[in-house]
Amino acid sequence: MTVTLADVAKRARVGTGTVSRVLNGARNVSQSTRDRVQACILEMGYRPNLVARGLAASRTGMVCALIPAIGAPQHGEVIQGLGDVLHEHGIQVMIGDCGYQPDREEAIVADFLERRPDAFYLTGVVHNAKTRHMLRASGIPIVEGANLTDDPIDCVVGYSNHDAARALTLLMHKRGHRAMAFVASTSEHNDRIGDRLKGYYAACAELGWDSRHLVLENANSFSGGAAAVERVLRHPSQIDLLLCATDVLAVGAIFECQRRGIDVPGRLAIAGFDDLPLAAAINPGLTTVSVDRIAMGRVAGHMLLQRLSGRQGAHAKIDVGFTIRERASTCAGPEA
Amino acid sequence: MTVTLADVAKRARVGTGTVSRVLNGARNVSQSTRDRVQACILEMGYRPNLVARGLAASRTGMVCALIPAIGAPQHGEVIQGLGDVLHEHGIQVMIGDCGYQPDREEAIVADFLERRPDAFYLTGVVHNAKTRHMLRASGIPIVEGANLTDDPIDCVVGYSNHDAARALTLLMHKRGHRAMAFVASTSEHNDRIGDRLKGYYAACAELGWDSRHLVLENANSFSGGAAAVERVLRHPSQIDLLLCATDVLAVGAIFECQRRGIDVPGRLAIAGFDDLPLAAAINPGLTTVSVDRIAMGRVAGHMLLQRLSGRQGAHAKIDVGFTIRERASTCAGPEA
DNA sequence: ACAAGATATGGAAGCGCTTCCAGATTGGCA
DNA sequence: TGCCAATCTGGAAGCGCTTCCATATCTTGT
């Protein structure tokens, strides 16, 4: 039926080991033999069976990547960077969608491990105990991404969501905003959102705003952002800046202001987080925190390759940093 | 090191075949044996190696899905539906991102086939000859999605992009719009966009608008939509409706109108295609074509399962239909 | 009680590859 | 010329599972 390595060996009048060596680029094969084998491979249209290779070599050439939502552009970009790097080394990425649910993540990790991937990429740095244990026990390289932690399962590449939120809050204060509200998205198990909120609290503490700050929680959707505006406007103290934990919330908030005829940033300024393409396109442009997610994915890919080749030990930690993009949705401030 | 099926067999004092039968739910195993084996599996923490199973059974329990852009919410939804159905049957989905490039698609198909997936899902119905040949030769079930065709590789599930665009155009005519322009996104190899344009042409022909229609082509981005507005406004004949091949273009167009102070739909009406969450959130709400993509993915999943179980022959074709969502970005028309 | 079918089970063969070891060939150097 | 090291090559063993066949055990009908 399908042509196997043994068929190629027979036709080229060599042993199966030799064909295998040619395929894997081992250099101790004479040029003449190599050419003959290559010719047979072409003539016969031979395509290796990676399942068999995986079993024999206990290397599958597969890396599993878990993201909380397929179809979210942020995570797509990370996967793109990761894939770009890994594909060059013949490694395919298998994506799992764990929908912000630790239980689901655990189930997917368990399933994926049965396929014997060479490595794992996880979004976020908080995972349940069983997940951590399974991954540790598997002994394969793990990279956690999109945030930072001092206690990674293995390696971590990302940026400090905490520091970014803190920096954004302080910058907004410098620009003259004094009465802020923070909208977090409903997500008990999203460490990035959690850290953003903590960063906001940290900045508030530094500014001496002990607990007078308003914190809302809404679904991470356009309508969640709209609902936040409603609540902010009702609030007794005149709030002048709405800090949103995601761009989606922020954009929803801007739309709601448009509907209500509320001037942004004149009456209410709005800032987001993620720098989606939408943030630059909307009117007014959305002030937000930007991270080069494709680069982050690439770094994750390189880390995994290093770990797989043994050239890199565990517990590496890389901070890819962040940039605050100031646009027209917040005030330019006194000095600008 | 890791515990294998043979280890379980030894401990349970049965043959390897029996353990395999227990694992795969074959019913000709006595209850007592079954219980004993199950107990050993739990005690030893045995996890099957799906790579070995794949080799032995020549069923890997993997389905490959190719989408043109990971991170695009439309395709994410399809994959979600597909995955939901397949996961229930222990099948994992491996995603490939072919970035609207037929060559890349061909390369990915070639790579993926080496992993011996049980089936394939492809986005779109146009693929190059080598891709079609490889897939046909592989003999596994193939489902093409997101459009319809009379010449599928195997099966197809989707809706007629052509008919949807035609219906939208005719409806807009009925609503009183008389001078339209169509913006296609730059994409020589995107059959969905191509068919939408053809559908527009078909409607124009029916309305007797022979070739007076303006057709633009811009990158599929917010700024591409903005650029289209610029060109439409410059056009000598006063165009009253901009039909966009995607919601992204349409939203970019609306933003540009906001910037220029152009009334939508008063001066220029705008319609899109895809019904992204953004379409309902923006002001004014965007008239667009809606398809239940999650359901489409689920149907694709069921089709593949049917094909895999042999209960369904090749060449099935399922039309999941579409809905036109009229919102405030186009005129309500005389009778509304 | 006994034949004939139904049901349960062990174990060998084999899936298509990698890898290791042993043997064959070559070349360099004294 | 002879010997050792370096280089190349064939083929067996084995990766962890499924599946088939042969055997053993249990039913049931008469």
Please check whether residue B228 lies inside any domain of the structure: yes
Query: Considering CB atoms only, which of A94, A112, A258 is closest to B283?
Result: A258
Please check whether residue A326 lies inside any domain of the structure: no
> What nucleotides of chain D have any atom within 7 angstroms of a protein Cβ?
7-21
C-alpha distances (whole Å) from B321 to each of B143, B160, B292, B296, B299 are 17, 7, 9, 10, 12
Residue of A nearest to B225 (CA): A281
Query: Considering CB atoms only, which of A51, A62, A111 is closest to B116?
Result: A51
Please check whether residue B336 lies inside any domain of the structure: no
Burial (CB count <10 Å: 0-12, 13-18, 19+), residue B87: middle
Cβ of residue A149 lies below 7 Å from strand D: no
Three-state secondary structure along chain B? CCCCHHHHHHHHCCCHHHHHHHHCCCCCCCHHHHHHHHHHHHHHCCCCCHHHHHHHHCCCCEEEEEECCCCCHHHHHHHHHHHHHHHCCCCEEEEEECCCCHHHHHHHHHHHHCCCCCEEEEECCCCCHHHHHHHHHHCCCEEEECCCCCCCCCEEEECCHHHHHHHHHHHHHHCCCCCEEEEEECCCCCHHHHHHHHHHHHHHHHCCCCCCCEEEEECCCHHHHHHHHHHHHHCCCCCCEEEECCHHHHHHHHHHHHHHCCCCCCCCEEECCCCCHHHHHCCCCCEEEECCHHHHHHHHHHHHHHHHCCCCCCCCEEECCCEEECCCCCCCCCCC
Please check whether residue B70 lies inside any domain of the structure: yes
A259-314 pLDDT, tens digit each: 999 999 999 999 999 999 999 999 999 999 999 999 999 999 999 999 999 887 77
Residue of B nearest to A75 (CA): B71
| Interface contact flag, A114 B50, Cβ < 8 Å | yes
pLDDT of residue A317: 96
Could you tell me if A185 and A220 are in contact, meaning their C-beta atoms sit under 8 angstroms apart? yes
pLDDT of residue B212: 63
Looking at the DSSP bridge assignments, the partners of residue A214 are A181
Task: Calculate mean pLDDT across residues A155-166.
Answer: 98
- Same domain assignment for residues B181 and B154: no
Question: Which nt sits closest to B46, CA to C1'?
Answer: D16
Report the Cα–Cα distance between both ends of chain B, in Å, rounded: 73
- Same domain assignment for residues A154 and A299: yes
Measure, in angstroms, how far nucleotide C6 C1' is from residue B40 CA. Answer: 28
- Same domain assignment for residues A264 and A191: yes
pLDDT of residue B283: 98
How many structural domains does chain B have?
A: 3
B163-181 pLDDT, tens digit each: 999 999 999 999 999 999 9
Any residues with CB less than 8 A from the CB of A182 and at least 6 apart, and which?
Answer: A197, A200, A213, A214, A215, A216, A243, A244, A245
Residue A323 has pLDDT above 70, yes or no: yes
Which segment of A117-121, A182-186, A293-297, A308-312 scores lowest on mean pLDDT?
A308-312
* CA–CA separation, B145 and B302 (whole Å): 13
Measure, in angstroms, how far nucleotide D9 C1' is from residue A26 CA. Answer: 13
Cβ of residue A4 lies below 7 Å from strand C: yes
| Interface contact flag, B116 A50, Cβ < 8 Å | yes
- Same domain assignment for residues A271 and A165: yes
Contacts of B116 in chain A (CB under 8 A): 49-51
C-alpha distances (whole Å) from B49 to each of A59, A115, B117 are 13, 6, 16
- Same domain assignment for residues B194 and B268: yes
CA distance B56 to chain A (A): 9
- Same domain assignment for residues B35 and B135: no
> What nucleotides of chain C have any atom within 7 angstroms of a protein Cβ?
7-21
pTM for this prediction = 0.94
Measure, in angstroms, how far nucleotide D10 C1' is from residue A59 CA. Answer: 25
pLDDT of residue A31: 92
* CA–CA separation, A96 and A66 (whole Å): 5
Burial (CB count <10 Å: 0-12, 13-18, 19+), residue A247: buried
Query: Considering CB atoms only, which of B60, B76, B222 is closest to A71?
Result: B76
Please check whether residue A335 lies inside any domain of the structure: no
| Interface contact flag, A114 B49, Cβ < 8 Å | yes
| Bond prior to A284 in cis (omega within 30° of 0) | yes
Residue A215 has pLDDT above 80, yes or no: yes
Task: Calculate mean pLDDT across residues A141-147.
Answer: 97
**Which residue ranges in chain B fall short of pLDDT 70?**
1, 211-212, 333-336
CA distance B203 to chain A (A): 32
* CA–CA separation, B174 and A75 (whole Å): 42
Amino acid, single-letter form, for residue B85? V
Cβ of residue A2 lies below 7 Å from strand C: yes
* CA–CA separation, B330 and B176 (whole Å): 10
Cβ of residue B28 lies below 7 Å from strand D: no
Q: Could you list the beta-strand ranges (E) of A124-220.
A: 142-145, 155-158, 180-185, 214-218
Residue with tokens 């794949």: B54
Measure, in angstroms, how far nucleotide C29 C1' is from residue B231 CA. Answer: 82
- Same domain assignment for residues A238 and A302: no
pLDDT of residue A184: 95
- Same domain assignment for residues A283 and A297: no
pLDDT of residue A332: 86
Measure, in angstroms, how far nucleotide D12 C1' is from residue A42 CA. Answer: 27
Q: What is the CATH number of the domain that holds B17?
A: 1.10.260.40
Contacts of B95 in chain A (CB under 8 A): 70, 93-95
A33-57 pLDDT, tens digit each: 999 999 999 999 999 999 999 999 9
Residue of B nearest to A222 (CA): B281
Residue A220 per-residue DSSP state: S
Contacts of A258 in chain B (CB under 8 A): 283
Mutate to test the interface with A, among B92, B94, B251, B282 (most CBs of A within 10 A): B92
Cβ of residue B60 lies below 7 Å from strand D: no
- Same domain assignment for residues B149 and B165: no
* CA–CA separation, B325 and B291 (whole Å): 10
- Same domain assignment for residues B283 and B261: yes
Please check whether residue A336 lies inside any domain of the structure: no
Measure, in angstroms, how far nucleotide D29 C1' is from residue B37 CA. Answer: 34
Which segment of A23-27, A96-100, B186-190, B276-280 scores lowest on mean pLDDT?
B186-190
Mutate to test the interface with B, among A2, A46, A70 (most CBs of B within 10 A): A70
The whole domain housing B61 covers 57-159+293-324
Q: What is the CATH number of the domain that holds B112?
A: 3.40.50.2300
Residue of A nearest to B98 (CA): A80
| Interface contact flag, B92 A115, Cβ < 8 Å | yes
- For residue A336, name the pLDDT band (cuts at 50, 70, 90): very low
CA distance B98 to chain A (A): 11
Contacts of B277 in chain A (CB under 8 A): 221-222
Q: Give the three-class secondary structure for A132.
A: helix
pLDDT of residue B336: 47
- Same domain assignment for residues A281 and A220: yes
- For residue A212, name the pLDDT band (cuts at 50, 70, 90): low
- Same domain assignment for residues A145 and A251: no
Please check whether residue B334 lies inside any domain of the structure: no
The mean of the pLDDT values for chain A is 95
Which segment of A1-5, A35-39, A198-202, B212-216 scores lowest on mean pLDDT?
B212-216
Burial (CB count <10 Å: 0-12, 13-18, 19+), residue B45: exposed
Cβ of residue A211 lies below 7 Å from strand D: no
